[in-house]
Structure 1
């Protein structure tokens, strides 16, 4: 009997060494292997908001709130969206179902901790039991945080902000229902449990990630794409979300493994289910770069944003996002076109894409096949190309796409110089929620080199 047990043990260990190493299969043998492997993750969990898609679906908003038993609703937007048809459609739907509601339209485009606090105070003082966000990522993220703190009056915003900037506490209380009505494509925030903001004290972005933050329902209405900015200006963020989630550290390499499944983070690393959504989003982006500005193309891009949101909302993003936070947080005077704001702003999509060519040339060696695959989807000819060239091929293709999209030529063009690199590195270091999901670990020197290479893209 002892000999039989030893034979089985040897067989299991042998299988662990030779079995398939792909994300869909390798974790099982790792789980059965040595004690050291017990520190690493062995499972992943995929979650997303319920999504309802269809032209005119916003008219169902009031009925949804009534079905949820809502007594008093906070309808949140920004001052620009407040004047657009999407907001009119939402208000009409609430009136039609006799929903009691109040409007908060003081959302800041690219929110910061101060604008979050204004929304939190409004929500706490209103005794709301349901929330609606009509707008882009800034509105949806602000609404998530207002809901988080209003549903637990003793909570402080920094309790839940990702460590080491905040305490990084798990959200354990139940939130009120939240319905998101996206009016633009890019963030995918209607699907995710993430809320991002500028932390003014340290001049960098940070955020909160938890499945508890996910909207109860996303009403994805393509009619709202008719008032979106130029479609091409919105592709940058979808592109980054899809690329980063597909090339993120595999989930079974992430550690530590949570002691309780409720502690498993929202961002878990690349996994077979997220891969499907990320790759499909990337294919839509590749087609959209060439497509004309018609309703069908805009609708496809709105769906691509949802696809990418489901992908990165579970796999996570990595270096482009980690480096983007101090880029946005330290902006001095740059004001993006098509953004009607009275303050300097580097839009999120722009801040993430400017470092992409340098980042993917840095990360390729850890998963060259995935870098080549995505380069081909985006239009690169990879016939007879070698894996050692994967980083350059993807980076060159990204530069071509960025030029097609009229993206600013590197960090220099938005007001940064070589002298700013140390503070950009300093702002990146605390972003462990995303930087640790990069397939390749990075030092301060690595980050300095990546920012240096991103000063000019073309």
Structure 2
């Protein structure tokens, strides 16, 4: 059979997953993993707030005990900007390192990805930012090894190809995405999430849920046009049977454990399972992709900076990523319901822990709203500081995220996105 015989649509999907090491005390094996990879000197990119908890020194010690030299960079922004990425990239470019370790949440891991990218291939960060915002340049070869050690349970960055950044001059967030940016190994240790504040746990956990649901109901991989070459196959390929397995389990974990994880920081079963769920969701959406809620989240995070986030040790206002994605998700999934009713209902069942007695377009939105209420999420975009007059600018910001929107199970243009924003002013 020739490529012409296969028709115009895609017939292939790929799964390229980060190696995973999970369990209590897993971080103690970091030194062994560095030696296994043949690394002699690494750059430790660490959340600065972990030093006061003694975690940075602990990890530095583990690295040094393995006979690996370590230099540390801690100038991390909670929501990274192109400038903060630039500072990390410049520092990394000056270091004689053959690998990276990232210790922290998604912001830290994303910073390490970009520092690794520029250390390896040079150039300006904007050159690699997704088109049409940036140049969309593709790294020509693999990056240096990166071991991600997450301390929160949300972004799944330890398993994805993406680094998200804010570009203040454009009042928007966007990303850099390429298969070479996926970390080499994720070491997920539940004990590292014990000190995460409840509000941060809530925002991170809602990000897990949104990742998993969006990827599960994304446009099927075989509904996309076939790429001209394998190199042009996007990292976000659409839902497929393998990615669905990871996404479904992450949805289940969110429904069963997020409320507990928010309620009790010492509930290591709940916090550890949410950390595992974040990585699993990362594997799922790292292959299938996310779409409407994440496209809407970028302008929500970038257009205004008036929201004061609880629990985050930062002196500036910002919208935590998990909150920016979840606030439009009920309206988004109400809109996408008729494209895949069975998948929407299945996701709702996993979030609620049982069969839906009155299934319909409201099932998944209702399940999400109940979870949002229980963990203290903002009620809608008004709670983030937006009003009706801001919606045209929000729509335009979302429309710039075509890399994401093409993965929606049904087409969403300006009119549809405007409706989603208007319905999201207040979800209850």
Q: Give the TM-score of the pair, scaled to structure 1.
A: 0.88
Specify the alignment match of 1:287 in structure 2. 256
Task: Specify the SS of the correspondent of 1:126.
Answer: coil
1:74-85 maps to which residues of 2 (within 5 A)? 74-85=43-54
Query: Out of 153, 157, 160, which is 2:128 matched to?
Result: 160
Task: Specify the SS of the correspondent of 1:109.
Answer: coil
Alpha carbons 1:145, 1:195 under 8 Å: kept:
yes
Whole-Å separation in 2 of the counterparts to 1:96 and 1:107: 25
Specify the alignment match of 1:175 in structure 2. 143
Alpha carbons 2:203, 2:320 under 8 Å: kept:
no
Confirm whether residue 325 of structure 1 aligns to residue 303 of structure 2: no
Alpha carbons 1:380, 1:397 under 8 Å: kept:
no
Alpha carbons 1:72, 1:130 under 8 Å: kept:
yes
Whole-Å separation in 2 of the counterparts to 1:232 and 1:348: 11
Unaligned runs of 5+ in 2: none
Confirm whether residue 97 of structure 1 aligns to residue 66 of structure 2: yes
- 1:125 Cα deviation after fit: 1.1
- 1:290 Cα deviation after fit: 4.6
Q: Give the TM-score of the pair, scaled to structure 2.
A: 0.94
Alpha carbons 2:155, 2:204 under 8 Å: kept:
no
Query: Out of 334, 347, 355, which is 1:374 matched to?
Result: 347
Specify the alignment match of 2:418 in structure 1. 448
Whole-Å separation in 1 of the counterparts to 2:365 and 2:356: 17
Specify the alignment match of 2:204 in structure 1. 234
Whole-Å separation in 2 of the counterparts to 1:224 and 1:380: 28
Specify the alignment match of 1:117 in structure 2. 86
Task: Specify the SS of the correspondent of 1:252.
Answer: helix
Query: Out of 158, 179, 189, which is 2:157 matched to?
Result: 189
Give the number of aligned pairs: 422
Task: Specify the SS of the correspondent of 1:201.
Answer: helix
1:263-278 maps to which residues of 2 (within 5 A)? 263-278=232-247
- 1:375 Cα deviation after fit: 1.1
Judged with a 3 Å threshold, the aligned counterparts in structure 2 of structure 1 residues 91 and 445 are, in CA distance, closer, same or farther, namely same
Q: Deviations over 1:75-117 (max 9, x none)?
A: 1112212322432321110121232121110011110100000
Confirm whether residue 297 of structure 1 aligns to residue 270 of structure 2: yes
Task: Specify the SS of the correspondent of 1:198.
Answer: strand
Specify the alignment match of 1:399 in structure 2. 369
Specify the alignment match of 2:24 in structure 1. 55
Of 435-444 and 133-142, deviating more is 435-444
Unaligned runs of 5+ in 1: 1-30
Alpha carbons 2:89, 2:119 under 8 Å: kept:
yes
The RMSD of aligned alpha carbons is: 1.8
Larger-Rg structure: 1
Confirm whether residue 414 of structure 1 aligns to residue 384 of structure 2: yes
Confirm whether residue 431 of structure 1 aligns to residue 404 of structure 2: no
- 1:333 Cα deviation after fit: 1.7
- 1:64 Cα deviation after fit: 2.1
Alpha carbons 2:60, 2:70 under 8 Å: kept:
no
Query: Out of 147, 156, 181, which is 2:116 matched to?
Result: 147
Q: Deviations over 1:325-383 (max 9, x none)?
A: 00001123211000111111100000000001100000111111101111111128755
Specify the alignment match of 1:38 in structure 2. 7
